[in-house]
């Protein structure tokens, strides 16, 4: 029973670390892109180039959020576990036939 509580604690700590890393990423994204937008708007006579890093990095941030908060099923741990089990079952069945 004590071992289960230790495993649960380790999983909870890992989850908190993932969430903390995501929010750190989000803060950095907001800070850096705010600076880029300010530089572009006040110092550039041409087009709005800030949109490219904003969108590019935004895709990465969305992926990080999806992985952290599990709102895309194929990125989650449950999906990985099910796929691993599926492949192991398929391999076992090959040898039975």
- Per residue in 37-80, pLDDT (tens digit) is 999 999 978 889 999 999 999 999 999 998 888 887 666 667 77
Rounded-to-integer distance, Cα 85 and Cα 97, Å: 19
Higher-confidence position of 86 and 3: 86
Contact 40, 52 (CB under 8 A): no
pTM of the model: 0.71
Q: How many domains does the chain have?
A: 1
Look up the domain containing 65 and give its range: 2-96
What's the mean pLDDT in 3-27?
A: 92
Average pLDDT over residues 28-39: 97
Q: Is the pLDDT of residue 27 over 70?
A: yes
pLDDT score at 97: 64
Answer whether 95's CB lies under 8 Å from 45's CB: no
């Amino acid at each position: 029973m004590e071992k289960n509580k230790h495993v649960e604690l380790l999983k909870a700590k890992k989850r908190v670390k993932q969430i903390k890393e995501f929010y750190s990423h989000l803060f950095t994204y907001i800070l850096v892109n705010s600076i880029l937008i300010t530089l572009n708007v006040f110092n550039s006579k041409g087009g709005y180039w800030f949109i490219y890093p904003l969108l590019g990095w935004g895709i990465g941030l969305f992926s990080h959020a999806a992985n952290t908060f599990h709102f895309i099923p194929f990125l989650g741990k449950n999906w990985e576990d099910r796929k691993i089990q599926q492949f192991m079952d398929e391999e076992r069945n090959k040898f039975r036939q």
